Structure 1
Amino acid sequence: MASRLARLRRLQPGRQGDPPDSPGPLGSLGGVESAADGRMGGVAGVHGRALSTPGLSRGLVPLVAPFLPAVAITGIWLAWIPFDGGYFPGAWYPAAMFVVALLCVMVVAGHRARLGSRSANVALALFGAFAAWNLLSILWAGSRASALEAGGELLLYLATAWVIALLPWRGRPAAVLLGAWSLGVAVTCAGFLIAALGASDLTHYVFDARWQQPTGYANTAAALPAMAFWPALMLSARRRTARPLQVLFVVTAVFLLDFALLAQSRAMFVVMLLVLLVFLLWTSDRLRVLTRALAIAAASALALDPVFGVIRAADGHHPVAPAIEHAARWIVVSLAAAVVIGIALVAVESRYRPSPGTVRIARLGGRAVAVALLGALLGLAAARGGSLPHYVSHQWRVFKARPANTGERASYTRLGTLTSDKRYDYWRVALDAFGDHPLAGVGAGNFERVYTLRRDYPKHSRSAHDIWMRSLSETGVVGTALLAGTVLAALAGLLSLRRRLDDERRLLVAACVAVGAYFVGHGSFDWLELVPAVGVPGVALPFLALTLSGAPPPPAIRRRGLLSGAAVAVSLAALVALLFPYLSYEYTNAALSQSRTHAGAARRDAERAASLNPLSPQPRYAEGVIAMGQGRYGTAERAFRRALSIERTWYPYLELALLDARTGRFARARSEVARARSLNPLDPFVIAASQLVRRHRRIDPVSFNRRVLTLPLYTSEHTQ
């Protein structure tokens, strides 16, 4: 036993005599790893042997090489952010193909597809079944192209989680990954704020009275820094983080919190408080975490009123630029305060170590806070007595009402209001769709078709603004059970893992759990899953946490040919499901972009797009629009009729009505526009065309299409 301990000491990266808090020469985020790291088999064991070799360069290669896939994936997460968070297919399709190919290479080269824990394997298998069910819904979906696209996006989520979970994670590499992602998000957000200070036109940053960047949508603009906040909080409290870096991450956490509040997301505010309780209950070092959290909140509070002033200025139709400048100045003040507070915290902690009794009390602090909050809520309910049912009834009416009829207006902040922003309508339609198709749903990505038909508002919506409502409506009981099973299996595995971890790993796991819990919590009120820069880390990091037990990975399967063949077959199928729709998407965009300058090339690109993805009507839409712009109305009519043979939806019927009205064929035009209106009854585009046709007005399709895009439905207020 003594000789084994001696060997472990020789493998540790710190210098002889280093205290446990001090960083070793290989990374200040890492410090001294626990003995469990030295026991890891497979690739992880290479790390320990590398540290004993002479020369730092020779030791770094085997240390870093196993985590190069994580470096690439983290780079993708950060690269998505300026491109609307990766919302559009052109941003996430290439990443999905890269990660799927990377997974195939890792499985074939390592001869291992299973993860290190049973719960991780169960969760991953259920998530894979959920992705497969979404792809299978192509068979019954009204829009098969939408089902294919939604299934392809889930392949991105699945492959990323799988790759992350296959890596031999230990304390230091996990801390480096979390810190790099958190700092990268903070730097990107800071860049957008600085760019807004010098912008002459702020509509890119603020519209509909809300801050929108860096993702182009207010709620994901709040969710992204809110999720990156938790690794920063963890690293500021982690004992093995170098003291200067502890201060840096205190400052990072303050900035991320300030920036998240710019967008005034009500779900973000509520979910952050709940996740803080989860974080405190999960970690053992509650005193340090709670101290950091209070210090961060105090520094952030300095900028609270100026940050809220941005929405006040926009909501009151006052100049927004001075409000943003004022908020930025006070954010800098809060960061300066964070530096002072962080240095003071580190200085005090370096001279004072709490007694075991204080540590035990602190470990109970999170539970005490949770009990106190629960007691406060129960006390409030008891104090209100008979008025509570009336209050709940009133708030429910406010939630259901149209925004213009609620009588509520956020003069200071929208955080205190309960207007639904049409969520009641989204959820009503989702439940109606589930009631009509309870077993299998309407098909992945097909909520938009149903909502377009049944909505009570002119505004379109692609999502139900709730991952559970979306799952119920699109994938039915089967898909929702698989999704819920994934979450429950991961949670069960994490709870089981928590009891076996030391304080160091428990804190790392707490940060990953907090990121995942935030994603699920906020995603239950919004469409975070459609923004990969937000959703993919929220799914992948809990799988990272499931592999932090320090147990050796499962042995490689000896049936190399069978494993490799299965991996290659599945990966090729996934790549086909991603590659052809992506190429079709790019050719469609290329056709539209060059329709005025290179007509022949545009027509050829549209034909290529149609041949690459025969399930999608989009290339035929592009072909019809290009033909109308060139005055080839017969070609345009044929293109829209071919689109209808692929997918029956309102848009080609509308364009056919415009083409008929152009030549005075009003009987046919009335029939076509009536079909369009039956599928999209509230769209002002369709209503305007219907009125013109009813008056026997000849219509120029090109000018009508161009003019209708100036309607409020399609301008900045409704951009998303």
Structure 2
Amino acid sequence: MHGGRGEGRTRTRRGGGRVPLEPLHVLACVLVAGLLVLAAWTSGGYFPTDVALIGVVALVGLALLVLVLPRVAVPSGPGLLTLTGIVALAAWSGLSAAWSPDPVAATQAMIRAGAYAAVFALALLAAGTGRHAALLVRLVVLVLVAICVAAVLSRLRPFLIPTDPGLVSFAGGRLSYPISYWNGLGAIAAMAIVATAALACDPQGRRVERALAAAGGTVATLALYLTLSRASIAAALLGLLVLAVLSPRRVRLLGSAAIIGAAGAVAVLVVRGSPELVDMPGALDVQSREGGRALAVLVALAAGAAAVQWVVAALEPGTRPTGSRSRGRHVPVGAQRVPVVGIVAGLVLALVGAAGYAAAGERLEGRVADGVFGARSFVDRQYDEFLDSSAAPARGQERLSESRSSRSESFRVARETFADAPLVGVGAGGYRVAWFERREITESIRNAHSLPLETLAELGLVGGAILAMILAGLLSGLRSVRVRTRGLTRAQAAAGGGAVTVWVVHAALDWDWQLAGVTLPALVLAAALHSSLPGGRGGGEGSRGRGRGAAATS
């Protein structure tokens, strides 16, 4: 059937019966979420056999969906741009096997990018023309929070979720389960924090969902700290900043972020005094005893954050606790008073600040001068340490105040490798060979710890242009936070856009592309954003019949 409001809900069988199409999109969304879980719990989807399995399952699901749906929804231009870029990257990686020093690795890179393209396409079709984009966003955020919960439990209750002691020792005590790489888990936690902060302030969300988002953000904050991942913390802060800039409801966003941040900060203060939980987990009985106390506090804090967010949601004027979406332009009751309150609060703060300065101006200026000088010295020291790749990296919580690592050396090798073959690169998988030829330290690494630099080194300017196409397509979904989308509230769009921003920033500083468990959540969220943007045509679930009405939702 292709007309009216019922378009796409059923499909006529040859025998005269009807196949309900609405559950097909829901099942496809669930399948996508299941693939994210599979990627996370198979060492982050790092190994070729695991990512190949994910790609095969996604392709089968994609084929079945195309065969069953009467018409396939055409996503917006950014969605097609992103999909085309991922497919082109897979093809160019495969072609580079002809000149790569490691043809097997080049083939594996092609399979990995192909699997990402299959999952991204499946997510596009699952979301349709935006009708199921909200479900897809909720499921992805649920998976991100579940990963953080499992990770924290593996540290606080080691008997409940045992981990490999060898891996814990290799990680220097940094939390890495189930991704098996601490910085990868840090990226997951950072995406979860940004996404839950956005969902917690959604005025059109159900109070229970908003409360659960605040609780999940609290756990994610502790998980992020236990990874001791500096790049992940920076990516989370930048993601929150992007949300604050793009969000039309900054006051509510800041309130929800404050609730999550406060509860998470208390949880961090509780665990940071226990070296058995942070720096290097000790004997299981000691770790379990300390972890039991910390877990009780964490549960209380998460519940408290949920309760506070629920009360805030109940007291907010003009909200829709049932989660219903308005059509057309709608200004919540009392929303016009927010600017006035902000102006008054600003004037009060200004008066208080002026009075304080008049009372202790000289002392304040002296302290500020000392603080500026100290901050400048700290930044200079961090920069020098970052460039000194021969220095031993800091361990434990000292990592958060030190910048010693091998990043600068891996970046240098990538730049020199690109300079030798700027057009086509040395071939996919060739960075590892270049590293052993050019390194000045004894550390053994396979990746450049930067997606842009590694792409330029291995695939040259051609690969760099393809990657720029992919990133442009991903980041273009950020405009869904401002425009009226089909099927997503602005807070849900902000959750997806903020998490994608976190991934883009973190991938520039680490090898996230090689971890399907870290990359696929960002790609699926981008697919949900692209599906909900105006510009697509057709759809198996009735985009023409409801396109204008859906486009008016916010």
TM-score when scaled to structure 2?
Answer: 0.78
**Structure 1 gap segments, 5+ residues each:** 1-40, 51-57, 365-379, 557-720
**Kept after mapping to 1: 8 A contact 2:145/2:220:** yes
Q: CA deviation at 1:423?
A: 0.9
The amino acid that maps onto 2:90 is A
Aligned pair 1:65/2:24, yes or no?
yes
Aligned pair 1:282/2:246, yes or no?
yes
Instruction: Write the distance in 2 (CA, Å) between the matches of 1:312 and 1:359.
Output: 46
After TM superposition, the structure 1 = structure 2 runs for residues 234-249 of structure 1, keeping only pairs within 5 Å, are: 234-249=198-213
**Equivalent residue for 2:425?**
441
The amino acid that maps onto 1:203 is P
Aligned pair 1:548/2:532, yes or no?
yes
**Equivalent residue for 2:400?**
415
Q: Residue 497 and residue 333 in structure 1: after superposition, are their counterparts in 2 closer, same or farther (change >3 A)?
A: closer
Q: Residue 392 and residue 97 in structure 1: after superposition, are their counterparts in 2 closer, same or farther (change >3 A)?
A: same
Aligned pair 1:506/2:473, yes or no?
no
Q: CA deviation at 1:497?
A: 7.9
* Greater shift in the superposed pair: 270-279 or 541-550: 541-550
Q: Residue 333 and residue 446 in structure 1: after superposition, are their counterparts in 2 closer, same or farther (change >3 A)?
A: same
What is the DSSP-based 3-state SS (H/G/I as helix, E as strand, rest coil) of the residue aligned with 2:56?
Answer: helix
Q: CA deviation at 1:388?
A: 8.3
Instruction: Write the distance in 1 (CA, Å) between the matches of 2:240 and 2:267.
Output: 21
**Kept after mapping to 2: 8 A contact 1:129/1:482:** yes
Instruction: Write the distance in 2 (CA, Å) between the matches of 1:404 and 1:190.
Output: 34
**Identity value in percent:** 25
1:505-534 Cα deviation digits (max 9, x unpaired): 332221111121111111111111111111
**Equivalent residue for 2:547?**
none
**Kept after mapping to 1: 8 A contact 2:73/2:536:** no
Instruction: Write the distance in 1 (CA, Å) between the matches of 2:246 and 2:25.
Output: 28
Aligned pair 1:473/2:457, yes or no?
yes
TM-score when scaled to structure 1?
Answer: 0.61
**Kept after mapping to 2: 8 A contact 1:494/1:546:** no
Q: Residue 359 and residue 154 in structure 1: after superposition, are their counterparts in 2 closer, same or farther (change >3 A)?
A: farther
**Structure 2 gap segments, 5+ residues each:** 11-16, 320-331, 344-366, 541-554
**Kept after mapping to 2: 8 A contact 1:123/1:490:** yes
Aligned pair 1:273/2:237, yes or no?
yes
**Equivalent residue for 1:344?**
311
Q: Residue 385 and residue 168 in structure 1: after superposition, are their counterparts in 2 closer, same or farther (change >3 A)?
A: closer
**Kept after mapping to 2: 8 A contact 1:225/1:259:** yes
Aligned pair 1:329/2:316, yes or no?
no
**Kept after mapping to 2: 8 A contact 1:83/1:91:** yes
**Equivalent residue for 2:137?**
178
CA-based RMSD: 3.6
**Kept after mapping to 1: 8 A contact 2:203/2:313:** no
1:388-421 Cα deviation digits (max 9, x unpaired): 8876554332112246468xx56754222211x2
Q: CA deviation at 1:292?
A: 0.9
Bigger radius of gyration among the two: 1
**Equivalent residue for 2:351?**
none
Q: Residue 533 and residue 42 in structure 1: after superposition, are their counterparts in 2 closer, same or farther (change >3 A)?
A: farther
Instruction: Write the distance in 2 (CA, Å) between the matches of 1:363 and 1:542.
Output: 33
**Kept after mapping to 2: 8 A contact 1:43/1:66:** no
Q: CA deviation at 1:229?
A: 3.1
Instruction: Write the distance in 1 (CA, Å) between the matches of 2:89 and 2:378.
Output: 39
The amino acid that maps onto 1:417 is E
**Kept after mapping to 1: 8 A contact 2:44/2:518:** yes
1:172-212 Cα deviation digits (max 9, x unpaired): 63222222232233334434543542438772673213122
Q: Residue 264 and residue 91 in structure 1: after superposition, are their counterparts in 2 closer, same or farther (change >3 A)?
A: same
> Which one of 479, 494, 500 corresponds to residue 495 of structure 1?
479
* Greater shift in the superposed pair: 275-284 or 323-332: 323-332
* Greater shift in the superposed pair: 477-486 or 487-496: 487-496
1:332-379 Cα deviation digits (max 9, x unpaired): 232132133123212322689762434557999xxxxxxxxxxxxxxx
> Which one of 52, 57, 62 corresponds to residue 103 of structure 1?
62
Q: CA deviation at 1:249?
A: 1.8
Q: Residue 170 and residue 397 in structure 1: after superposition, are their counterparts in 2 closer, same or farther (change >3 A)?
A: same
**Kept after mapping to 2: 8 A contact 1:250/1:292:** yes
Instruction: Write the distance in 2 (CA, Å) between the matches of 1:490 and 1:500.
Output: 18
Q: Residue 339 and residue 480 in structure 1: after superposition, are their counterparts in 2 closer, same or farther (change >3 A)?
A: same
Instruction: Write the distance in 1 (CA, Å) between the matches of 2:212 and 2:374.
Output: 48
Aligned pair 1:295/2:259, yes or no?
yes
Instruction: Write the distance in 2 (CA, Å) between the matches of 1:492 and 1:184.
Output: 24
Q: CA deviation at 1:146?
A: 0.5
After TM superposition, the structure 1 = structure 2 runs for residues 388-407 of structure 1, keeping only pairs within 5 Å, are: 393-402=380-389, 404=391
Instruction: Write the distance in 1 (CA, Å) between the matches of 2:72 and 2:96.
Output: 26
Number of residues of Structure 1 aligned to a counterpart in Structure 2: 491
After TM superposition, the structure 1 = structure 2 runs for residues 134-213 of structure 1, keeping only pairs within 5 Å, are: 134-169=93-128, 173-196=132-155, 197-199=157-159, 203=165, 206-207=168-169, 208-213=172-177
Instruction: Write the distance in 1 (CA, Å) between the matches of 2:494 and 2:471.
Output: 16
**Kept after mapping to 1: 8 A contact 2:36/2:521:** yes
Q: CA deviation at 1:96?
A: 0.7
Instruction: Write the distance in 2 (CA, Å) between the matches of 1:552 and 1:42.
Output: 16
The amino acid that maps onto 2:440 is D
**Kept after mapping to 1: 8 A contact 2:54/2:115:** yes
> Which one of 42, 50, 72 corresponds to residue 83 of structure 1?
42
What is the DSSP-based 3-state SS (H/G/I as helix, E as strand, rest coil) of the residue aligned with 1:216?
Answer: coil
After TM superposition, the structure 1 = structure 2 runs for residues 224-243 of structure 1, keeping only pairs within 5 Å, are: 224-243=188-207
The amino acid that maps onto 1:483 is L
Report which structure shows greater RCO (CA 8 Å, sep ≥6): 2
What is the DSSP-based 3-state SS (H/G/I as helix, E as strand, rest coil) of the residue aligned with 1:116?
Answer: coil
Aligned pair 1:431/2:415, yes or no?
yes
Q: CA deviation at 1:441?
A: 0.8
**Equivalent residue for 2:334?**
355
**Equivalent residue for 1:716?**
none
